[in-house]
Amino acid sequence: MNASFLVVSAAQLAVLRQAAARPSRALEPLPAKIRGAAKQAVLDALVARGYATKCYFPSHVEYVLTEAGLALKGNGDDAAPP
């Protein structure tokens, strides 16, 4: 990753903030306004940027906030790369 700042969308930031408030740091359930294809797009973008990780379990998959995502949740639009 280069030294430039990564910008997250308003939807991504809402997901990060909601997950940071949970003891488990689970991203789901997402805010009600994020549905359909947008849901997967938000999750994929957060994983691609290192703000979330995809955890595989025998019966399901969970998306969980990383330390980089936790640090970003209060920074507004920009964040340093993880």
Residue 72 dihedral angles phi and psi, to the nearest 5°? -75, -30
Contact by Cβ (8 Å): 77, 4: no
pTM for this one? 0.78
Q: Is residue 60 part of a domain?
A: yes
> How many domains is the chain built from?
1
Q: Is residue 1 part of a domain?
A: no
Task: Identify the domain containing residue 55 by its residue range.
Answer: 6-79
- Decide: helix, strand or coil at residue 47: helix
Structure confidence by residue, pLDDT tens digits, 1-58: 443 356 788 899 999 999 999 999 999 999 999 999 999 999 999 999 999 999 999 9
* CATH code for the domain in which residue 30 is found: 1.10.10
Q: Is residue 64 part of a domain?
A: yes
> What CA–CA distances, in Å, run from 38 to 45, 53, 60, 65?
10, 18, 20, 18
Q: Is residue 10 part of a domain?
A: yes
